[in-house]
Chain A
Amino acid sequence: MTQAIEFRGVERHFGAESVLRGLSFTVAPGQVYALLGRNGAGKTTALRILLGFLQPHAGEARVLGLPSATLTPDERERIGYVSEGHRLYPEMRVNDALAFEAGTRPRFERAAAERELERCGILRAKRIYELSRGMRAQLALILAACGAPEVLIFDDPAMGLDVAMRRELLGSLIELLAERGTAVLFSSHILSDVERIADRVGILQGGALIVDAPLDELKRRVEKRHWVPRNGQGDPRVAGLLRSRAAEGGYELTLLDLNPERESELRAGAARLSERIDLDLEELFLELTTRPEASR
């Protein structure tokens, strides 16, 4: 099956700084993939490479099976894109923006867009600079989604929006996606949003992908335990230990794939080992991206 999106060993540097290091992952048709990472991790660079706005120094990115470095105008029509900050032409009226999309994108469904705008309460006579941030974000989303894309790419769609706006925006997104079955790749650092809509997450750190897994599986495989050493001495040593931090007379351990054997190994040196503590995505993200370099 052709993947909707595919990165194969993509590398990119800006000057002497490596921004992407061997990035490889795929997004299947209909899948919602969240690309996470701290500021400067390389998320926007990855998306720009995917859209052909930037060329990789090594490797290849493909969209809908096509090399993104040489996307033709016709191929671009199959890809929806909402840029960081929901860039639109501010002096245009909403109606003009619809006309512009309809004029430049043959597949744009103007009637559907008008219905969505009405549902969101966005007046078509208003100029875009008169809209609230949330409404502008919704408008950008509607304009991108109503071009009937097979792949939708968002660069930080919730950036700069408050909680209520984000909920509204993501609500719109979920409804649109439910109707169309479009593959979505979006970057974000607001993890509560990701949890609501993403099927799979990738976590970028220092330009490299350190996590690429379905969200449920990630949550299942990573857990936290409190470990107190016997006689108050000794360090926790076990395979799959992602992070240990001194806490309450012992250590707080973040563990990957803790199976019965590893658990026995831990218990052997412990005065006390707590039960499994589940992590939400935000905690997982922090645990995985703030690990000291030496413990990798």
Chain B
Amino acid sequence: MSSPTVALLRKDRPWLLAFLVLGTTLAAIVFGENEVEGVFVVPTSHFAEELELLLVPCAVLFAIAASVGEALRGTRHLLRHRPLAPERIFWVRHLAALGVVAAWNALGMLPAWIPELWSGAGGACVDPSRFGAVAAMSAGLGLDYALVVLGLGLPTSWIARFVWAAALLFLRYAAQSALAFLDPSWPACLIVYALGALLALWIAARSEAHEHDPDRPTPARALVGAAAACVAAAAFFGAIAASGWQELALGGLAKGRALVARLGENEVGLLARPDTDGLWDVVDEHGQPTGRRVPLSGTDHHAAPSPQEPDFDALTLPALHPPFAWYQSPAGAPGTRRVQSLDDALRVVDFLAEDERRCWILPLPVGTTCTRDASLYEIKDGEEEYLYYFAPAVGGLWLVAAETPPRLVPQPLPNGERPLRLDWARDEAGKSQRVLASATQLWRSRAGLWQPHGPLEAPRSRFTLLDDDPLRPEVEFALASGASLRHRYDIAGPRATVCAGAAVLATLLRPPPFALLGAASDYAAASAARPDEALLALDPLLGGGYGWLLWLNLGLTGALMACLVRDLRRRGIGGARLAGWILAVFVAGVFAGPVLLALEPRRAWRKPARTAPPAPLVVAA
């Protein structure tokens, strides 16, 4: 390393070391609590959450210290006024910090490994891919660090920088959640996180090379990367906000609508809120009360349909946050067994004694892969426990035999019936238990054998969505007796109007690329194909019969662009810079506004009235 690099590292050494100790200690606590068994043999599901809970705030704090330390101490100019390029000063500091972040897990796991290596287990049954997953988690922490550095290095006011840093961090986890359905492997996570961190730092380096000056336009060189990152973040945030807003509006619309319900053995009707004293008003087609009131409990009823909701709950990636492992008592051996499902196999680990482990991989039959609906589940039958693996996509059912070594035993249903889904049913004692449903009947396991549990109950009613119009759906509710009701929900009343208006507004404000994507997709088909996935990119209205709203969305975007052109020209902005901001509005729609306000403030283009300076009193040669 060259002399200036060493000097810069020595200068930053105190706080680099402080964060190395802090992060390593926190990591060591989590690795110590979960031990090698819980991290590297059969990972426990809470390991990754615990690690993130402690180390993400630490990475954020580290990034804040690295970004604002010089400014707080007033040494920024002391450092800048050196025969060193600002970019070099930036990279030396932040690459060293990324090294520290990477060292947290690498060093933090050592205390957990020392007793493991000294004990008889000696690393037996360790899953090598878990080291990769831990490395990917470290890269994720590096990305958190880099995004905060990017936010705090943007050419805008300090308050706005902190807001952007928080927004970038929020969007990183939202994106991770939204992209979780791609089910990336740990190498993919590692590469994406590492490249993301380097890209964020590269943009921050370009932006930081210039002193932020609120009274001068940010130089184009510093602006390009920063604006691109902020506009992309704003577009993504806009899509999430529009989806969330629309979900609320459409949910509110459905909630305010009448239920279709069975009112008697041969009678179907509509029930309207509000619920008073447990009784609901029976209403006519137009929502007018008929004067009759019925209790809801015990009534077969259906609420008005609302579109599939985007799901942002899962912040986890399967590759990093391992799925639940099932426990089983291995026959003929002491200890416990943990069974874990992999992509194309089951992994079985027996923990025989304190220092002894054995493991097996049970490959699934060729052509059987663990799709996301495949599952391990157990059934208790007296003292016996049976662990099954069910893959509905191929209609496959296997028993994980509690033997040593374990075996996968195929469990065909009698008469060649194909298991279709898992269900619940009551046994003779009235206890609820897991059953399998085939096309004609339910099946239960007794003493390890599958027996019919009874025919599938014929539905007493049928609810059909005839028209999936998101604002005015049409449904049919038919009873087995033959009585039926066909009803189209209308937008009637102030509440329905407000909710429908809010849903349309969300479509109009959706960033144009997402609106185009939404209009080009069939929302109903997409939500049926991926019922549990995030549908933030799609729009229930644009993809559900209201495609014409796209023209209003684009029209609004065009109007915004026209206002922007007029305003920026008044400030004196033109050429490529103006074109760049027009593109930003096209990408993020109205959500480009905060980016424009932060990075292109009016003040930067202000030219105060010039007054002639007073004549000098004494000037000598």
Task: List A residues at the B interface (Cβ < 8 Å).
Answer: 11-18, 21-22, 48, 51, 53-55, 57, 73-74, 76-77, 79, 81, 83, 85, 87-92, 96, 99-100, 102-106, 205-214, 217-218, 221-222, 242, 256, 288, 296
Contact = CB atoms under 8 A, between A and B. Distances in A.
A88 B81 contact: no
7 contacts: A13-B608, A54-B213, A76-B82, A89-B78, A102-B3, A102-B7, A208-B613
Nearest to B216: A55
B83 A105 contact: yes
Main secondary structure of the interface of B (DSSP, over half): loop
B611 A16 contact: no
Given A13-B608, A103-B3, A104-B4, A212 B81 contact: no
A87 B83 contact: no
A104 B8 contact: yes
A81 B80 CA distance: 11
A217 B620 contact: yes
Contacts of A13: 215, 608
Interface stretch (B69-77, B266-274, B395-403, B587-595): B69-77
Contacts of B571: none
Given A85-B74, A212-B616, 7 more contacts: A16-B606, A53-B77, A81-B78, A87-B77, A87-B78, A206-B614, A208-B616
A100 B11 contact: yes
B619 interface: yes
B83 A104 contact: yes
Contact of A105 (B10, B73, B82): B82
A209 B608 CA distance: 20
A110 to B, nearest CB: 12
B614 A212 contact: no
A13 B80 CA distance: 23
B74 A22 contact: no
B615 interface: yes
Contacts of A17: 608
B618 A212 contact: yes
B617 A210 contact: yes
B6 interface: yes
A11 B616 contact: no
Contacts, number: 129
Interface centre among B82, B603, B612 (most CB of A within 10 A): B82
The 9 closest A-B pairs by CB, nearest first: A103-B7, A208-B613, A77-B83, A21-B613, A213-B620, A73-B83, A22-B613, A211-B618, A87-B74
B482 interface: no
Chain A: interface secondary structure?
mixed
B78 A209 contact: no
Contacts of B78: 81, 83, 87-89
B211 A57 contact: no
A218 B618 CA distance: 7
Contacts of A76: 81-83
Given A96-B10, A100-B10, A18 B608 contact: yes
Contact of A73 (B8, B85, B614): B85
Nearest to B2: A103
B84 interface: yes
B610 interface: yes
Contacts of A73: 82-85
Contact of B77 (A15, A83, A90, A91): A83
B4 A103 contact: yes
Interface residues of B, number: 39
B617 A256 contact: yes
A73 B14 CA distance: 26
Contacts of B74: 83, 85, 87
Interface in B1-55: 3-4, 6-8, 10-11, 14
Nearest to A143: B78
A211 B82 CA distance: 32
A48 B10 CA distance: 27
A85 B77 CA distance: 12
B71 to A, nearest CB: 11
B220 to A, nearest CB: 14
Contact of B11 (A21, A55, A89): A89
Interface of B: 3-4, 6-8, 10-11, 14, 73-75, 77-78, 80-85, 211, 213-216, 603, 606-608, 610-620
Contacts of B614: 205-206, 208, 210, 296
A92 B11 contact: yes
B606 A15 contact: yes
A92 B618 CA distance: 46
Contacts of B11: 89, 92, 96, 100
Given A89-B11, A103-B6, A79 B608 contact: no
A30 B505 CA distance: 70
A14 B215 CA distance: 6
A250 B459 CA distance: 115
Contacts of A16: 606, 608
Given A55-B216, A89-B11, A210-B616, A104 B73 contact: no
B484 to A, nearest CB: 72
Contacts of B618: 210-213, 218, 221-222, 256, 288
A218 B616 CA distance: 13
Given A51-B77, A99-B7, A211 B619 contact: yes
Contact of A87 (B7, B75, B612): B75
A91 B615 CA distance: 48
A16 B4 CA distance: 41
A211 B617 contact: yes
A212 B82 contact: no
Contacts of B82: 73, 76-77, 104-105
Contacts of B612: 21-22
Contact of A51 (B4, B7, B81, B213): B81
Contact of B211 (A14, A15, A53, A89): A53
A104 B7 contact: yes
A256 B464 CA distance: 100
A99 B7 CA distance: 7
Nearest to B84: A73
Contact of A18 (B8, B611, B617): B611
A15 B603 contact: yes
A209 B616 contact: yes
Contacts of B73: 87, 89-90
A13 B216 CA distance: 10
Contacts of B211: 53-54
A284 to B, nearest CB: 9
B83 A74 contact: yes
Contacts of B3: 102-104
A118 B456 CA distance: 97
A51 B81 CA distance: 8
A55 B211 CA distance: 9
Nearest to B78: A87
Nearest to A257: B618
A80 to B, nearest CB: 9
Nearest to B210: A55
Nearest to A71: B81
A117 B3 CA distance: 23
Contacts of B619: 211-213
Contacts of A208: 613-614, 616
A256 B620 CA distance: 13
Contacts of B213: 54-55
Contacts of B84: 73, 104
A208 B611 CA distance: 11
A100 B7 contact: yes
Nearest to B12: A89
Nearest to B616: A210
A9 to B, nearest CB: 10
Contacts of A103: 3-4, 6-8, 10
A252 B81 CA distance: 48
Contacts of A54: 211, 213
Contact of A288 (B10, B606, B613, B617): B617
B7 A296 contact: no
